[in-house]
């Protein structure tokens, strides 16, 4: 059956939204937010951003003359809720409360996906869902060890994107996601690299405030001793340190910007566009980007070890893979491990739309959150 489905995918630096009548997209947009747009929300609960992100969606629906009452389902990207297995979940009050309070350790914009889906579905009088939220946990036992029992490694990653892309490639290869071993890197505001063994993500970095490569706006893993010293130096508040981990760490700390397109234009031409936030030289900008690529590649290499060298393919996805430099350079480092496929941007909207269709077709697959 042809359903009318609204898809809401909030990211740390963008909102991806789409409305579909059957297979036909009525609109599909990615709205990017600059550092300046998001500055007023720094260090605050992500729910402060609800009015900004809600207005964007309602304006698009209005501009495209979509009557709310025709919507059959609203589906959002799921954020920080209790760690769970993959699948489609109905958004209920318990989930909204967990997303709003960040009780499960995170106040990432993806939390807004479920909250906005429920709100808009209530106006429309239809069901709301989330699918494959960032907290899916399929880590193998050895991957949980950090060396500090009180501080285990945990699974927080671009589950929806990584699984979608891996599934698409496996199908193109004439096989199934559940039958392949692969490494998937999603590069956006956060960067995660997962080892997928026959349909399970058995190891992955925690791309929120955990470990892994530095990103356009996150530090990734840092040297322990230096970080502990900074924390107890009296120079920084808890908020300052958290902002260094997420929001103001990584490329933006070295160069002044997390806009990699802008940064690459500067590296290429030596010219800063009017209003650019870049505060470094061209050489420093290039070295910082090279370092991020080097760290991503090292992480991909380590996941090949997790899979004991049995890697059917490597996949790169996310906004960063639009770059003319990043996928090419990663391929230079790790292309020898396995064939590499690049899916620039996000497959997440399609993944969400298809999940909502499956849920409407077969309500039995919809899981209940508690």
Ligand X SMILES: Nc1ncnc2c1ncn2[C@@H]1O[C@H](COP(=O)(O)OP(=O)(O)O)[C@@H](O)[C@H]1O
Ligand Y SMILES: CCCC(=O)OP(=O)(O)O
The 262-301 contact track toward ligand Y, x by CB under 6 A, reads ----------------------------------------
- Chosen from ligand Y, ligand X, none, partner binding at 134 (C-beta under 5 to 8 Å by type): ligand Y
Q: Which span sits near ligand X by CB under 6 A: 57-65, 90-98, 258-266, 330-338?
A: 258-266
Instruction: Decide if residue 189 touches ligand Y (CB under 6 A).
Output: yes
Q: How far is the CB of 229 from ligand Y (least distance, A)?
A: 27
Instruction: Decide if residue 162 touches ligand X (CB under 6 A).
Output: no
Q: How many residues can be counted in the chain?
A: 370
- Chosen from ligand X, ligand Y, none, partner binding at 323 (C-beta under 5 to 8 Å by type): ligand X
The 3-42 contact track toward ligand Y, x by CB under 6 A, reads --------xx------------------------------
Q: Give residue for tokens 């900008």.
A: 285
Query: Under a CB-based contact definition with an 8 Å cutoff, are residues 132 and 87 in contact?
Result: yes
Query: Under a CB-based contact definition with an 8 Å cutoff, are residues 370 and 93 in contact?
Result: no
- Chosen from ligand X, ligand Y, none, partner binding at 208 (C-beta under 5 to 8 Å by type): ligand Y
Query: Which parts of 299-358 interact with ligand X (CB under 6 A)?
Result: 318-320, 322-323, 346
Burial class, 298, CB count within 10 angstroms (exposed 0-12 / middle 13-18 / buried 19+): middle
Instruction: Decide if residue 219 touches ligand X (CB under 6 A).
Output: no
Instruction: Decide if residue 208 touches ligand Y (CB under 6 A).
Output: yes
Q: How far is Cα 58 from Cα 65, in angstroms, rounded to an integer?
A: 10
Instruction: Decide if residue 297 touches ligand X (CB under 6 A).
Output: no
Q: How far is Cα 75 from Cα 125, in angstroms, rounded to an integer?
A: 14
- Chosen from ligand Y, ligand X, none, partner binding at 207 (C-beta under 5 to 8 Å by type): ligand Y
Q: How far is the CB of 103 from ligand Y (least distance, A)?
A: 17
Instruction: Decide if residue 134 touches ligand Y (CB under 6 A).
Output: yes
How many CB atoms neighbour CB 184 within 10 A? 30
Strand locations in the chain (E): 4-10, 14-21, 24-32, 73-77, 88-90, 128-131, 181-187, 191-197, 200-204, 313-318, 340-344
Burial class, 190, CB count within 10 angstroms (exposed 0-12 / middle 13-18 / buried 19+): buried
In the complex, the residues that contact ligand X under the rule CB under 6 A are 11-14, 188-190, 216, 258-261, 264, 318-320, 322-323, 346
């Amino acid at each position: 059956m042809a359903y009318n489905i609204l898809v809401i995918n909030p990211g740390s630096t963008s909102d991806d939204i789409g409305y579909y009548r059957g297979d036909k997209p009525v609109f599909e947009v990615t709205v990017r937010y600059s550092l300046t747009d998001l500055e007023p929300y720094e260090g605050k609960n992500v729910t402060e951003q609800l009015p900004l992100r809600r207005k964007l969606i309602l304006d698009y629906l209005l501009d495209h003359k979509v009557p709310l009452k025709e919507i059959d389902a609203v589906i959002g990207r799921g954020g920080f809720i209790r760690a769970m297995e993959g699948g489609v979940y109905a958004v209920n009050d318990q989930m909204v409360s967990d997303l709003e309070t960040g009780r499960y350790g995170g106040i990432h914009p993806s939390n807004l996906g479920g909250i906005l889906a429920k709100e808009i579905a209530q106006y429309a009088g239809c069901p709301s869902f989330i699918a494959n939220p960032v907290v899916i946990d399929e880590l193998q036992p050895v991957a949980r060890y950090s060396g500090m029992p009180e501080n285990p490694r945990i699974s927080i990653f671009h589950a929806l994107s990584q699984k979608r892309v891996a599934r698409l490639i496996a199908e193109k290869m004439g096989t199934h996601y559940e039958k392949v071993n692969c490494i998937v890197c999603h590069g956006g505001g956060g960067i995660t690299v997962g080892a997928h063994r026959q349909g399970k993500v058995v190891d992955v970095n925690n791309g929120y405030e955990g470990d892994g490569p530095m990103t356009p706006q996150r530090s990734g893993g840092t040297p322990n001793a230096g970080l502990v010293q900074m924390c107890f130096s009296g120079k920084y508040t808890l908020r300052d340190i958290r902002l260094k981990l997420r929001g103001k760490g990584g490329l933006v700390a070295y160069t002044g910007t997390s806009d990699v397109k802008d940064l690459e234009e500067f590296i290429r031409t030596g010219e800063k566009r009017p209003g650019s936030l870049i505060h470094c030289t061209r050489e420093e900008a290039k070295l910082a980007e090279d370092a991020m690529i080097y760290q991503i590649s090292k992480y991909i290499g380590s996941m090949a070890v997790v899979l004991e060298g049995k890697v059917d393919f490597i996949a790169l996805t996310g906004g960063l893979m639009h770059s003319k430099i990043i996928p090419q350079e990663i391929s230079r480092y790790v292309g020898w491990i396995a064939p590499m496929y690049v899916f620039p941007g996000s497959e997440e909207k399609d993944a969400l739309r298809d999940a909502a269709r499956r849920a409407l077709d077969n309500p039995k697959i919809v899981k209940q959150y508690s």
